[in-house]
Amino acid sequence: MAGRVGVALAGLAGAVLLVVADLSTLYSINVPGGITRSFSGHGQHGYALVILGVVAAFMALGALRGAVPAMAALAFLGLVALGITLIGDAGDVHATGTYGQLYENVTAGPGSGFYEETLAAVLLLLAGGAGLVLMGAIPTRVALPRRGGLRWPRRRRRGASAPPESGAEGGPATGARRVDDWFEAAEE
């Protein structure tokens, strides 16, 4: 139960951070002389992070109830948010655009929204992954068979005598054909 609560809290924190990041300054461009241009997350994404945050909040509540699909959805939403951060925003936070062409010594840097967006994506990804591991949907150990516990059926060599439980023609007692019979029929 404590694991599910932790997963849900991390998911809710990630969801809230996505909404806050979309409303915060994503990056700003500073021109010497006091001109500063700020760009917000919703201007860059069209409120996509708010939608992801609302969906993630509902999935976090589902994770609190122990729903494995909700935990998988949290991990997926974390991947989507991380993709938006790395593919959509990481290249823009240091770009000066036309300000860099018009003025000298223009600098651009990430704002608080970029860091909030990155942290939210990581929190959602960790919450979903940890929830799947805690619920047993992703095995943490592979169970190996005990010595002598699992045996593969032995193949009969061509020309060997039939096992005693087989029928009179050397085939299975049920009358079904073996895979080897198909190859023998093709050779004739």
Residue 169 within a domain: no
pLDDT of residue 156: 64
Residue 81 lies in a domain: yes
Q: What is the pLDDT of residues 71-84, one digit of tens each?
A: 999 999 999 999 99
At residue 91 the predicted structure's pLDDT band, cuts being 50, 70 and 90, is confident
- Predicted local confidence at residue 44, as pLDDT: 85
173 within some domain: no
What is the span of the domain harbouring residue 127?
2-134
Report pLDDT digits (tens) over 10-64. 999 999 999 999 999 999 988 888 888 888 888 888 899 999 999 999 999 999 9
Q: What is the CATH number of the domain that holds 25?
A: 1.20.140
Position 88 scores a pLDDT of 87
What is the pLDDT at residue 20? 95
Residue 57 covered by a domain: yes
Q: Classify residue 161: in a domain, yes or no.
A: no
Distances (CA, A) of 92 to 35, 108, 116: 19, 9, 16
156-175 tens-digit pLDDT? 667 666 555 555 555 555 55
How many domains, the chain? 1
Q: What is the pLDDT of residue 92?
A: 83
Query: Residue 184 and residue 8: Cα distance in Å, rounded?
Result: 61
Measured between alpha carbons, how far is 172 from 187 in angstroms, rounded to an integer?
21
Contact in structure between 81 and 124 (CB atoms under 8 Å)? yes
150 in a structural domain: no
